[in-house]
């Protein structure tokens, strides 16, 4: 009876799905496409590739980037001051 409850395969680890030498590729192990897709999406998101693709859709001048960064810093500082007061 104990033999019937055993799984016919070993547990799939994320390290088993890694492809050496390539940062944004994943191996499909035991036909588990859903898990491979989940690992791939996580790698792309954590690697910053998706954000880079979105930013490259159109050219943004460095002065505009600098201005937006400064505006975000001003907003963050005003939020901090509202919370502490």
Higher pLDDT, 71 or 50: 71
pLDDT higher than threshold 80 for residue 30: yes
- Domains in the chain, number: 2
Distance CA 47, CA 57 (A): 18
Residue 53 lies in a domain: no
Do residues 69 and 36 both lie within one domain?
no
Q: What is the DSSP letter of 1?
A: -
- Give me the count of residues in the chain: 85
Q: Which domain holds residue 75?
A: 59-85
Whether residue 53 is predicted with pLDDT greater than 70 in this model: the reply is: yes
Same-domain pairing of 2 and 41: yes
pTM of the shown model:
0.53
Residues 33, 10 within the same domain? yes
Transcribe 9-68 into DSSP letters: SPPPPHHHHB-TT-TT-B---TT-HHHHHHHHHHHHHHHTHHHHHHHTTS---HHHHHHH
């Amino acid at each position: 009876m104990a033999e019937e409850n055993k799984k016919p395969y070993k547990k799939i680890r994320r390290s088993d799905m890694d492809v050496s030498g390539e940062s944004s590729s994943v191996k499909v192990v035991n036909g588990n496409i859903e898990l491979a897709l989940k690992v791939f999406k996580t790698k792309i998101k954590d690697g910053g590739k998706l954000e880079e693709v979105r930013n490259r859709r159109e050219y943004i001048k460095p002065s505009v980037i600098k201005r937006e960064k400064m505006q975000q810093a001003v907003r963050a500082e005003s939020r901090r001051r509202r919370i502490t007061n």
